[in-house]
Structure 1
Amino acid sequence: MKTLTQAEEEIMQILWQLNEANVASIIEQMPEPKPAYNTVSTITRILESKKFVNYRKQGRGHIYYPIVSKKDYTRATAGKLASNYFKGSYKSMVSFFMQQEQLSVQDLEDILKEMNKKS
């Protein structure tokens, strides 16, 4: 799966939240200062070429919708992070976040509970 730029990911987050939207609706959800219409339109076309979104025509415009789920993208991104920075070890990755104090003992306990549910 291709990696998204920060701008592409921001638009995907909005589309995952809304399920579908035209460019104007995407812009409404973006923080100030809002990007230009043409900028968002260009990014959505890039997302289409990367096979992350598709569209259907509505009047003179397009309604965009995600064809890659947030869960699938998250899984691929986490796997790439583990591979590129932690030699494929999720244990090392979790240990790193704990050492950086970005993951509390309570967070770790919650993760273990979730893992036990799936077992």
Structure 2
Amino acid sequence: MEKLTNKEEEIMRALWKAERAFVKDLLPFFTDPPLHYNTVSTIIRNLEEKGYVGHHSYGNTHEYFPLISKENYQNQFVINKLVGEYFDNSYKNMVSYFAKNDKVSAEELREILQMIEKGN
């Protein structure tokens, strides 16, 4: 699985929200700046070639759906990249950073630890 471009990620976020959509149904997700129908259609076809999107045909019209979950993509690219590039591949360093900068409270850390211990 290859990393997506920024525009491809935008289209995937819209498709993850919609779950199933025709190209015209995705256009309202892009208002600033608005994307043209042909642009979204081209990007969707690229995503399909990359294995991220599938479709059902209804005559000449296609209804698209994600083949990969948002969580799977986040785990493979977003989180790993963040931890790798900014925290020396250490989740401990990442958690420590958030704790030091008051982004995570001690109580939240205890809850996280309980979740880990329970296997959640």
**Aligned partner letter, 1:112:** L
- Aligned residue number for residue 80 of structure 1: 81
TM-score by length of 2: 0.81
TM-score norm. by structure 1 comes to 0.81
Alignment match, 1:35 = 35
Structure 1 gaps, min length 5: none
Kindly indicate whether residue 112 of structure 2 is the aligned counterpart of residue 111 of structure 1.
yes
Match of 2:69 in 1: 69
Give me the identity figure in percent.
Answer: 40
Taking the aligned partners of 1:4 and 1:108, their CA distance within structure 2 comes to 32
Name the SS of the counterpart of 2:34 in structure 1: coil
The residue number in structure 2 matching 1:21 is: 21
User: CA offsets, 1:15-34, max 9 Å, x none?
Assistant: 11111111100112333432
The offset of 1:47, in angstroms, is: 1.0
Instruction: Compute the RMSD of aligned alpha carbons.
Output: 2.1
Larger-Rg structure: 2
Aligned to 2:2: 2
Superposition deviation, residue 68 in structure 1: 0.7
**One-letter amino acid matched to 1:85:** Y
Give the number of aligned pairs: 118
Q: Which amino acid aligns with 2:115?
A: E
2:61 is matched by which residue type in structure 1?
G
Change beyond 3 A, Cα 1:48–1:100: farther
24-33 or 107-116, larger mean C-alpha shift: 107-116
Structure 2 gaps of 5+ residues are none
